């Protein structure tokens, strides 16, 4: 099949909906909560559409990991680049707010962000790229970081990977070059304790941290699911990459609360239930009044209902 390049609308005009993304004036705690709620409900809606038979294929939700996406991407600026993986919706939505483009994309509609040919895992937009080949996106992120450096720009690349991706050789080849050449790259390692059906202890020898430190790359490590803490940590990391021009790692020990993809889960139910106690939205709600999060939830819901109705009607 030949696909005409013109089908890929690379420069779409995006207007972030304040009901899902908030505004710069909105207090930070509220905006961070709003964005996490938006990602959570987008993905829950998506899973519902699969159940209804509206969507085919598969998808990987980041339910439980929204704080990583929102906290880190809060510090990404115009001209920076984000690279993501098969579990990319949170990263894309936190960056762009483009719920309609992503929903239409996953529905295979021409108005989707990649003309409906990339689907859930392969999203390409200005400043954003995801790929379902584990680890494959890491050298790409380093390449763009090199390009930015050669242009004399202070723009950074941020790449999100999972713990299971530490098994990919391309990651280590990239770490070597990134450290040797001082590339402005932040690697966000989301360790959610499982790679599909394999627990970390069965596939990752030694220390995750030491793997980066062996290349002389500094690592900041956290177990928090609190978006305010992640926001602060990520702010420091991105600022450090921007000012030093050197590669760093933010290692976040987190947990995936949903299936690996839309229906496969091999984990003990008690293990998953325990992690719902520290899920990021519940933590964020503790910082804001009930009336505030209820209002935000209603606004997000209304915006998403419009997105789904519009996307369904698209050709
Ligand atoms: C090169 C490659 N091998 C295998 C797969 C199949 N696969 C998709 S996701 C996944 C597990 C990924 O685990 P991790 O990197 O920890 O990310 P998580 O799914 O936990 O977010 C596997 C094995 C793939 N997409 N690419």
Q: What span, in angstroms and rounded, lies between the C-alpha atoms of 304 and 69? A: 19
Establish whether residue 132 lines the binding site of ligand 1, counting it when its CB lies within 6 angstroms of any ligand atom.
Answer: yes
Going by C-alpha positions, the residue among 165, 195, 188, 168 that lies closest to residue 75 is 188
Lowest model confidence (mean pLDDT) among 5-14, 59-68, 219-228 = 5-14
User: What is the overall mean pLDDT for the chain?
Assistant: 95
264 lines ligand 1 (CB under 6 A): no
Q: How far is the CA of 164 from the centre of ligand 1 (A)?
A: 6
Q: How confident is the model at residue 3 (pLDDT cuts 50, 70, 90)?
A: very low
Report the percent of the chain where pLDDT is more than 70.
96
CATH top-level class for 28-307? alpha beta
Cα of 160 to ligand 1 centre, how many Å?
12
Encoded tokens for 168: 């990919």
Closest of 146, 191, 145 to residue 167, by C-alpha? 191
Sketch the domain layout of the chain as residue ranges.
Answer: 28-307
89 in ligand 1 pocket by Cβ < 6 Å? Answer: no
Under 8 Å between Cβ of 304 and 44: no
Q: Work out the number of other CB atoms within 10 angstroms of the CB of residue 202.
A: 10
How far does the centroid of ligand 1 lie from the alpha carbon of residue 162, in Å?
A: 8
- Residue 5 pLDDT greater than 50, yes or no: no
* Number of neighbouring beta carbons within 10 Å of residue 168: 16
Can you give the pLDDT at residue 222?
98
Nearest atom in ligand 1 to 162's CA: 15
Q: Is the CB of 64 under 6 A from ligand 1?
A: no
Sorted by sequence, the CB contacts under 8 Å of residue 233 that are 6+ apart come out as 71, 220, 222, 224, 250
Q: Is 134 in the pocket of ligand 1 (CB under 6 A)?
A: yes
Residue whose CA is closest, atom 21 of ligand 1? Answer: 162
What is the best residue among 135, 164, 258 to mutate for testing ligand 1's pocket, by most ligand atoms within 8 Å of CB? 164
Q: Which residues have C-beta within 8 Å of that of residue 13, sequence separation ≥ 6? A: none
What is the 3-class SS of 85-106, one letter each residue?
A: CCCCHHHHHHHHCCHHHHHHHH
Nearest protein CA to atom 20 of ligand 1, as residue: 195
């Amino acid at each position: 099949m030949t696909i005409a390049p013109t089908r890929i609308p690379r420069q779409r005009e995006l207007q972030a909906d304040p009901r899902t993304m908030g505004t710069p004036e909105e207090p930070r705690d509220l905006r961070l909560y709003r964005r996490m709620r938006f990602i959570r409900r987008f993905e829950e809606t998506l899973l519902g559409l699969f159940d209804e038979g509206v969507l085919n294929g598969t998808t990987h939700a980041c339910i439980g990991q929204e704080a990583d996406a929102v906290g880190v991407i809060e510090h990404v600026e115009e001209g920076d680049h984000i690279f993501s993986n098969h579990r990319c919706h949170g990263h894309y939505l936190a960056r762009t707010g483009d719920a309609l483009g992503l929903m239409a994309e996953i529905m295979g509609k021409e108005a989707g962000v990649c003309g409906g040919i990339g689907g859930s895992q392969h999203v390409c937009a200005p400043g954003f790229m995801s790929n379902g080949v584990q680890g494959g996106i890491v050298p790409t992120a380093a390449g763009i970081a090199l390009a930015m450096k050669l242009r004399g720009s202070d723009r950074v690349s941020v790449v999100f990977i999972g713990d299971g991706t530490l098994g990919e050789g391309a990651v280590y080849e990239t770490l070597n070059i990134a450290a040797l050449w001082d590339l402005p790259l932040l690697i966000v390692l989301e360790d959610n304790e499982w790679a599909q059906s394999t627990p970390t202890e069965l596939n990752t020898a030694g220390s995750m941290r030491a793997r980066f430190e062996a290349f002389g790359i500094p690592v900041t490590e956290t177990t928090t699911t609190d978006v305010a803490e992640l926001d602060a940590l990520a702010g420091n990391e991105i600022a450090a990459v921007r000012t030093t021009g050197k590669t760093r790692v933010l290692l976040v020990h987190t947990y995936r609360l949903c299936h690996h993809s839309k229906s496969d889960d091999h984990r003990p139910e008690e293990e998953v239930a325990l992690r719902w106690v520290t899920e990021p939205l519940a933590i964020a709600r503790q910082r804001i009044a009930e009336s505030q999060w209820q209002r935000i939830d209603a606004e997000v819901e209304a915006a998403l209902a419009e997105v789904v109705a519009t996307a369904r009607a698209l050709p």
